Amino acid sequence: MKTFDLEKYGTTYKIELKITSYMEGNLAVTMTSWENGEPEPWNVLTVNLDSVRPQNCAFIDTNNNGEEILAWIIRHGLAVPTGIYARSGYCQYPEYRFRPERLLEIDPDGYSAYLHDWRKRYGS
């Protein structure tokens, strides 16, 4: 199991990422904290807005994870910004393109299932 250190609230948490998809096939990335060897749901890294995103792209939930999550994503080599933003309510969310090789390394089964579903819906 691959984990990433996340410093929040004065503590360093071990975060495991899981790859899945939202109802219409968009990429979803969930976060699980491993404290004392036990899994605890932490948050969802991505947010699903009202449009189909390109393969491996997702809007980042900066509303619930804070702006500092963007540097964390880049520092761990997970994704890069696309320059696209979307609004929902009073929040603006940046789109990031996740690196396929990192997603495969982090969660091979989850990423394979996401790809299969996405390709079945939208082609390659």
Q: What is the DSSP letter of 122?
A: H
**Which segments in the chain show pLDDT lower than 70?**
none
- Predicted local confidence at residue 68, as pLDDT: 96
Which residues make Cβ contacts (< 8 Å) with residue 114, sequence separation at least 6?
19, 20, 21, 27, 28, 103
- Predicted local confidence at residue 35, as pLDDT: 85
Angle value at C-alpha 116, between 43 and 34, nearest 5 degrees? 25
Residue type, 38: E
How far is the C-alpha of 76 from the C-alpha of 4, rounded, in Å? 8
| Mean pLDDT over the full length of the chain | 96
Q: What is the pTM of this model?
A: 0.95
Domain boundaries along the sequence of the chain: 3-122
